[in-house]
Amino acid sequence: MDLNYSATEEAFRQDVRSWLAANIPADLAEKVASYQELGRDDLLRWHRILAAKGWVAPAWPEEWGGTGWGAVERFIFEEECSLAGAPGLVPFGLAMCGPVLIRFASPEIKERFLPRIYNGVDFWCQGYSEPGSGSDLASLKTRAERRGDKYIVNGQKIWTTLGHYADWIFCLVRTDSESRIRQEGISFLLIDMKSPGISVRPLILLDGHHEVNEVFFDNVEVPANQLVHEEGKGWTVAKFLLGHERLNTGRVGASKRELAKLKAWAANRTHAGKPWIEHPRFADKVAELEIDLMALEITNLRFLDQLRGGKPPGAEVSMLKLRGTEIQQRLTELMMEAGGTRAERIRPLDSAQWADEAFDHFAASLGPRYANYRKTSIYAGSNEIQRNIMAKMMLGL
């Protein structure tokens, strides 16, 4: 097993780092650094910059705009983007729907949707979770009835991230209610969010942001040619998609950036007459977190070495999701601890507070970030589910 980067890979890292330093818009970098909310235009602007460079979808096949990079180069690129504080790319089109279409869709669907996803023409969201059907997706109830050359969709999706920005939604729907096996009879549909009968209701989070939504379908007509893969075989598509989603949830680069920020923050904030970082118990927590992050990075490198050899990771990828999201939460907790009473506000700053140069913007941004990051151990399959997966598939329990 080789956990070291080659000279060629290190040269690639430097090229990526230099390009990012010269091309990330300063206003977007500032928003990321200060934990401000990014709107649709912000997200699409960075997407289109990368698309123009040819770097927006490195994992796609080259015929659809992929870079031809190997797994190691893709990991380095993602890590450098995180370390540089680049805005995150919305995953629903690029990292989720796109790979599904490449793997399962008809040539007509690929030609219709993939170039638009790549170039940031369409904004996508995901329609998986429902009230009572989150980690247990096989219990979903949204119904699609085939009538001639269209489906009639009725039901509800919930926790639909950025659904209020979306042009399209990919949905798991039940097309057969008679099957004895719950995973059968589920299909994967592409649905235009402008279709009559779709309504979006915001769900305001604890931090005050409008990030997620409820989406309702009331006799929504969907052309049958927007079915991906076979009718009733959507569970196969869902498993493929979730594997892609969980592989990217470790976020080692972002956590390394936040750890450096935590150390700098704690060195400049005092408690009982000395900097927080000099208090032994707090320093112990930071050191323990750093060790765990190093272990996560090495685990990532192990998976990269497997990918070098052509072996895709299996159930063990749940380790990245589980440990990575726990580390992300612990970082926010330690930030809050060092921030003290100045970090206690949960609601985001209003425009007047952002305009006040004397206001401690960073401390005030920690509370909303802490509240928002409670979700990381739930999305992409809750951490409890990840433990069950590892116990069953890796340990045989």
Residue 123, phi then psi, degrees to nearest 5: -100, 125
* pLDDT tens sequence across 275-291: 999 999 999 999 999 99
pLDDT at 353 over 70: no
Length of the chain: 397
* pLDDT tens sequence across 23-40: 999 999 999 988 888 999
Q: Which helix (H) or strand (E) holds 77?
A: helix 71-83
Close Cβ partners of 79 (under 8 Å, ≥ 6 residues apart): 252, 253, 256
Active site annotation includes 73: no
Place of tokens 């895709």: 312
Distance of CA 393 to the CA centre of its chain: 24
How many CB atoms neighbour CB 190 within 10 A? Answer: 22
Alpha-carbon span 279 to 187, nearest angstrom: 55
Domain positions in the chain are 7-89, 124-233, 249-393
CA distances from 284 to 281, 291, 331 (A): 5, 11, 13
Mean pLDDT of 302-313: 69
Three-state secondary structure call for residue 152: strand
CA distances from 59 to 94, 168, 282 (A): 9, 22, 40
pLDDT at 246 over 60: no
Architecture of domain 124-233: Beta Barrel (2.40)
Residue 64 pLDDT grade (very low, low, confident, very high; cuts 50, 70, 90):
very high
Alpha-carbon span 353 to 359, nearest angstrom: 7
Alpha-carbon span 295 to 297, nearest angstrom: 5
**Class level of CATH domain 249-393:** mainly alpha
Nearest partner of 48 among 40, 37, 56, 57, judged by Cα = 56
CA distances from 98 to 125, 239, 390 (A): 12, 15, 27
CA dihedral 338, 339, 341, 346 (to 10 degrees): -130
| Mean model confidence pLDDT for the chain | 89
Buried b / exposed e along 150-165 (16+ C-beta atoms within 10 A): bbbbbbbbbbbbbbbb
Mean pLDDT of 233-247: 75
Residue 243, phi then psi, degrees to nearest 5: -60, -40
Tokens of 178: 């008679």
Active-site choice (130, 211, 245, 337): 245
Three-state secondary structure call for residue 391: helix
Three-state secondary structure call for residue 181: coil
pLDDT of residue 287: 97
Yes or no: say if 91 and 380 are a contact pair by the CB < 8 Å rule.
Answer: no
Mark out the alpha helices in 179-279 (DSSP H runs): 234-247, 252-267
Report the percent of the chain where pLDDT is more than 90. Answer: 62
pLDDT of residue 309: 67
pTM for this one? 0.86
Strand partners, 143: 154, 174
Burial of 237: CB neighbours in 10 Å, binned 0-12, 13-18, 19+: buried
Close Cβ partners of 70 (under 8 Å, ≥ 6 residues apart): 307, 308
CA distances from 110 to 46, 115, 173, 229, 369 (A): 23, 8, 21, 12, 37
Residue 341 pLDDT grade (very low, low, confident, very high; cuts 50, 70, 90):
confident
Strands 143-147 and 150-157: antiparallel
pLDDT at 372 over 80: yes
Nearest partner of 221 among 148, 328, 117, 305, judged by Cα = 148
Alpha-carbon span 80 to 62, nearest angstrom: 22
In the DSSP assignment, the letter for residue 90 is P
